[in-house]
């Protein structure tokens, strides 16, 4: 019953997020990416979640987001990317976490995961301690994994792996939220790539290392 209620809550949350972003985009300047151009997975995701409210699921609020099946896992990953992409074009501003207006790198991550009822701390360094560490290898990474940058002592930047060698992050150099290839991050930032963290996993492998 608890899992059933969490799935309903997740569906409502995504509906509110998508509705809010539609309104926010209508009020933005024309230079911002229009809401209509977002991935079609946004609508598919909401429809799929709504259709599954009649069956139990397993979205758990733990150090990782666990899913009962690979289908549930795919929905979670799609939702992370959909919410993150809804903020592309938002300005970069240190300390900001205002949907549709401005974010810094960790503010974006906190907003995206918070929309899925997964609470993360405020700074990139603190966020880098969540999830399970996985190989820094694009053949091993999955959409929704978090990429951390900095030094061995301090993480100063964080982004979301979007698949196909791309990352979504609040860029300090571009001064906005962007989706770009890892190669486009530049050698100075790539040299600071410290880890990849997996927050989304199947329930039966949540305690395993990959």
Instruction: Please confirm, yes or no, whether 105 is among the known catalytic residues.
Output: yes
Is 169 among the catalytic positions? yes
- Contact, 127 vs 106, CB < 8 A? yes
Distance CA 172, CA 146 (A): 17
Instruction: Give me the catalytic one of 2, 20, 105, 125.
Output: 105
Long-range own/partner contacts, residues 55-62 (CB < 8 A, 24 or more apart) = 55/4, 56/3, 56/4, 56/7, 57/3, 57/4, 57/6, 57/7, 58/3, 58/203, 59/3, 59/6, 59/7, 59/10, 59/116, 59/117, 60/3, 60/6, 60/203, 61/6, 61/117, 61/118, 61/119, 62/206
User: Which residue of the set 2, 20, 125, 157 is catalytic?
Assistant: 157
Sequence-ordered strand ranges (E) for 7-145: 60-61, 65-67, 91-92, 97-98, 102-103, 132-134
Q: Which is catalytic among the residues 2, 20, 125, 169? A: 169
Q: Which residues are catalytic?
A: 105, 157, 169
């Amino acid at each position: 019953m608890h899992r059933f209620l969490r799935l309903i809550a997740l569906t409502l949350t995504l509906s509110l997020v998508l509705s809010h972003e539609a309104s926010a985009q209508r009020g933005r300047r024309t230079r911002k990416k229009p809401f209509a151009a977002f991935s079609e997975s946004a609508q598919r995701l909401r429809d799929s979640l709504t259709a599954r409210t009649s069956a139990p699921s397993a979205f758990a609020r733990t150090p990782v987001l666990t899913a009962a099946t690979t289908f549930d896992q795919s929905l979670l990953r799609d939702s992370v990317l959909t919410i993150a992409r809804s903020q592309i074009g938002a300005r970069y501003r240190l300390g900001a976490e205002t949907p549709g207006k401005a974010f810094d790198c960790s503010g974006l991550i906190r907003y995206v995961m918070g929309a899925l009822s997964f609470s993360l701390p405020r700074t990139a360094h603190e966020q880098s301690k969540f999830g399970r560490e996985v190989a820094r290898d694009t053949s091993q990474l999955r959409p929704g994994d978090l990429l951390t940058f900095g030094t061995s002592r301090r993480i100063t930047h964080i982004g979301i792996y979007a698949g196909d060698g791309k990352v979504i992050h609040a860029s300090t150099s571009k001064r906005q939220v962007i989706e770009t290839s890892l190669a486009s991050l530049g050698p100075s930032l790539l040299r600071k790539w410290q880890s990849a963290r997996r927050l989304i996993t199947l329930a039966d492998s949540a305690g395993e290392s990959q």
